[in-house]
Structure 1
């Protein structure tokens, strides 16, 4: 889909590969690009779409976290627009290269994947402007806030708040994509026990009228985020309860009801058990 304006000078484009969103935030000084797609080749299409939109030059980039589908277009944007600053949370920036190399190894091993060559050809460029808690960017006639609300999908998630437009770009802390049946991305680097608390902070940055743009899928409202927070909260509570009862991690998915398909939760359970303090676990039931 082409870039669509979802609020005053905020445009979102949704790309078929991963159903990923790239967002433009416009100001008097130019455009801030939030996330850059999954390869250099894919990012060239995004750059062409930005130029076709014709609303100004790119003056900065934000990566909402380190995963390749949000960062592998960084180099292409710099090739097209010069050495613009790339902003990310310090944890995400530190992990971008390693995360990208892990993905490249997977694509290298899968010779049948149609995107293999473009992923392998992509130069990984991590963010060079980092922060730990919050940062405000000045686009000339509007301010944009970058906030690290806590750990969830990864350890370095950030959200982008545009106060004057009441828009929040949530990255993969919020998942809407029908391709995943709106199941959050509980991957091998997630923090399932902290994710609900992180979304409490995200909710505190919104109003009842806010437009929330997820990393994948269609924009949503505050009610959607609250419902997803509650479902993720059930995942976290199930992990705590089962571990406290002495249920082994490998038996947890079959031991209770979950709000999401169990095949999507293996990493969530494993990571949750690993992240529990020793006092939160009992010896396995005989």
Structure 2
């Protein structure tokens, strides 16, 4: 059974085995802010039980770090437990969850062998209802937290949450510790390194960074991950500039990760490069 572990004063993190996803609680005199809600109604019920077992207060709000279902499909269950609480997210995350959440459920419907299939299909998708475009502060009474959209990366609607009084930053899936950052078909690999430059500007050498998946890390870890993503982006740019076709790029490039992790990265990168940075093959 996962336990909420206090990583800084009144900041607790629980790491759940399914997707190795982190759920974080930030406490203030007005109550708890829950950051991400897990991937289904059933998974979120476990989170609710764990929050109540912690006994640190009532949840007064939710933050979704981005739209992906392993971070948002628990919204309905959490709001059932604490009726009427606001759900905060970047405006693009609202659009993406509304547009693509149904596709996630269809993927589970098409896979009768997945042990989470029935739970995901029974989950009611509840999108965020409090959105912002650039940055916003949330008041927990004796503590303010900052939601910042540093740019596109893992999705177009990523946010990070900063708790300034204890130098903690929740990175969502812009930072991952237990695996390489996931570059999916909705990612922005050419923007991601620059987005992490903004995130690094919010950190100090003593910052605790809670990733979307895995154990807490420090600023140096984020720098290293930013540099790997930067190599990927520049390799894509170089290959396209030399006229290497997208279907040959994975084999032609020298990558910091195994190529099997970069299929979407290469295709998305080629799509996002301006025409002036692509040399068309001679026919």
Q: What TM-score bracket applies, with the shorter chain setting the length?
A: over 0.9
Counterpart mapping for 1:130-279 below 5 A: 130-177=131-178, 182-279=179-276
Q: Please name the residue that 1:118 is paired with.
A: 119
CA distance 1:285–1:17, shift in 2 (3 Å): farther
The alpha carbon displacement at 1:265 in A equals 0.4
The alpha carbon displacement at 1:99 in A equals 2.3
1:56 and 2:57 are equivalent in the alignment: yes
Once superposed, which parts of structure 1, at least 4 consecutive aligned residues long, lie more than 3 Å away?
Answer: none
* Partner SS state of residue 12, structure 1: strand
1:25-70 CA distances to partner (integer Å, 9 max, x unpaired)? 0000000000000001100000000000000000000000000000
**1:68–1:99 contact (8 Å) kept in structure 2:** no
Q: Please name the residue that 2:103 is paired with.
A: 102
* Partner SS state of residue 271, structure 1: helix
**1:247–1:285 contact (8 Å) kept in structure 2:** no
The alpha carbon displacement at 1:94 in A equals 1.4
1:169-203 CA distances to partner (integer Å, 9 max, x unpaired)? 000000111xxxx2111000000000000000000
* Partner SS state of residue 253, structure 1: helix
* Partner SS state of residue 217, structure 1: coil
Q: Please name the residue that 2:8 is paired with.
A: 7
**1:12–1:21 contact (8 Å) kept in structure 2:** yes
Once residues 285 and 105 of structure 1 are traced to their aligned partners in structure 2, the CA distance between those partners, rounded to angstroms, is 42
Equivalent residues, number: 282
1:112-165 CA distances to partner (integer Å, 9 max, x unpaired)? 000000000000000000000000000000000000000000000000000001
Once residues 151 and 260 of structure 1 are traced to their aligned partners in structure 2, the CA distance between those partners, rounded to angstroms, is 21
* Partner SS state of residue 2, structure 1: coil
Once residues 244 and 184 of structure 1 are traced to their aligned partners in structure 2, the CA distance between those partners, rounded to angstroms, is 25
**1:104–1:120 contact (8 Å) kept in structure 2:** yes
TM-score (norm 2): 0.99
Gaps of 5+ in 2: none
Q: Please name the residue that 2:87 is paired with.
A: 86
Once residues 165 and 95 of structure 1 are traced to their aligned partners in structure 2, the CA distance between those partners, rounded to angstroms, is 32
Gaps of 5+ in 1: none
TM-score (norm 1): 0.98
**1:14–1:20 contact (8 Å) kept in structure 2:** yes
**1:61–1:87 contact (8 Å) kept in structure 2:** yes
The alpha carbon displacement at 1:97 in A equals 2.5
